[in-house]
Amino acid sequence: MARVYNFSAGPAVLPEEVLREAADEMLDYKGSGMSVMEMSHRSKVYDQIIKEAEADLRDLMQIPDNYKVLFLQGGAHQQFAAVPMNLMKNRKAGYIVTGQWAKRAFNEAKIFGEAVELASSADKTFSYIPDCSDLPITDDMDYVYICENNTIYGTKFWELPNTKGKDLVADISSCFLSEPMDVTKYGLVYGGVQKNVGPAGVVIVIVREDLIRDDVLPGTPTILKYKTQADADSLYNTPPCYGIYICGKVFKWLKAQGGLEAMKIRNEEKAKILYDFLDESKLFKGTVEKKDRSIMNVPFVTGDKDLDAKFVKEAEAAGFVNLKGHRSVGGMRASIYNAMPKEGVEKLVAFMKKFEEENA
């Protein structure tokens, strides 16, 4: 069996231990005589799986009691709509547009009300995070929205915007569980788990209780009301059972690694190896302003399209896969999520050095 080093932005690498455990339990989950894929979401055995997953996530992120955790379907895109439907009481909200996903959310919100672009980094191909210390936030805005880690462009909000007292809503899909975060600074955060947490099909919403309301926008489908799923502990309808089970395993894996403090140290170490090399390389260049660099997604280029393509091809042949940049920006991108071992990054850098020498 040959596992590659998978630098995919998502769906992405998962911890090998988790995959092995899931394989061991595939045919008979803990004496139940069936796979988790085959069991009722209302069964006792599944109830324990989802409850334990929530408890472990709460523990990892230190989620306060006045926040609900919802395990939902529909991906981040469904949240682009669900957020305004549930929270846009005054039909007005502020959006900070730092990349394609933020832009999608911004455009979706326009369907439901007045979405105001508070700041944008589109002028320099989203290669930085704009100054968000004094945004034109008005009193009638229901929330301020950010995409905290911009998966495609490789930028991260290292400082949260000054929301002038408004609730902050964040898409944390690609930085989910990469480091500790203070949940109390947000009204709502959500993340599709297929970047850094689990298999595609699950999106986790963490929302402060007072934002879970009955008076959502008229026309909001029952299934998209946070209240529907909050009241039913995410079991209003069939949840993505197997995906939640894998997420639960990843949460336990993270706890065994020392939790999010330990992950932060590791993730910073891994990112430093790659960024230090990019900063000294004569061939490869990082594309993002240094102060805004993501430690999860690292985009880089040679400056020559043909050479980029050659690099991606040779890297793949050497066992470093999915390094091609997003189709909208080109170049390369190495996503180095929690489950990417440090050794994977070290070996990638060694390969890049060799490529640089051969193509000087």
Phi, psi of 65 (to 5 degrees): -65, -25
**Residue numbers 121-150 binding ligand PLP by CB under 6 A:** 147
What residues does 301 pair with on adjacent strands?
Answer: 285
- Give the active site residue among 68, 101, 249, 308: 101
In whole angstroms, how close is the CB of 195 to ligand PLP at the nearest point?
5
Distance CA 313, CA 301 (A): 14
Residue sitting closest to ligand PLP (CB): 75
**Spatial contact of 103 and 242, defined as CB atoms under 8 Å apart:** no
Considering the rule CB under 6 A, would residue 192 count as an interface residue with ligand PLP? yes
Would residue 313 show up in a list of annotated catalytic residues for this protein?
no
Q: Which tokens hold the place of 300?
A: 């880089």
Residues 256 to 295 in contact with ligand PLP, rule: CB under 6 A: none
Could you say whether residue 310 binds ligand PLP (CB under 6 A)? no
Site for ligand PLP in 55-114 (CB under 6 A): 75-77, 101
Which residues, other chains included, contact 259 with Cβ-Cβ below 8 Å and sequence gap of 6+?
A: 60, 180
Residue 147 CB, nearest approach to ligand PLP (Å):
5
Closest contact distance (angstroms) between CB of 322 and ligand PLP is 14
Give the nearer residue to ligand PLP in terms of CB position, either 49 or 202: 202
Read off φ and ψ for residue 301, nearest 5 degrees: -140, 165
DSSP code, position 271: H
CB of 10 to ligand PLP, least distance (A): 5
Question: C-alpha angle with apex 152: 149 to 156, nearest 5 degrees?
Answer: 20
Catalytic annotation on 101?
Answer: yes
Rule CB under 6 A: is residue 299 a binding residue for ligand PLP? no
Nearer to ligand PLP, 29 or 101 (CB): 101
H or E element, residue 102: helix 100-109
- Of residues 135 and 147, the one with the C-beta less far from ligand PLP: 147
240 binds ligand PLP (CB under 6 A): no
- Least distance to ligand PLP from the beta carbon of 294, Å? 10
How far are the Cα atoms of 73, 108, 209, 244 from residue 199, in angstroms, in the given order? 12, 25, 27, 9
Cα–Cα distance, 285 to 325 (Å, whole number):
13
Q: How far is the CB of 172 from ligand PLP (least distance, A)?
A: 7
Q: Is 195 a catalytic residue?
A: yes
Q: Does 202 bind ligand PLP (CB under 6 A)?
A: no
What is the DSSP code (8-state) at residue 360?
A: -
174 is an interface residue for ligand PLP by CB under 6 A = yes
Q: What are phi and psi of 135, to 5 degrees?
A: -90, 155
3-state secondary structure of 175: coil
Which residues are known to be catalytic?
A: 101, 171, 195
Name the residues that contact ligand PLP, by CB under 6 A. Answer: 10, 75-77, 101, 147, 151, 171, 173-174, 192, 195
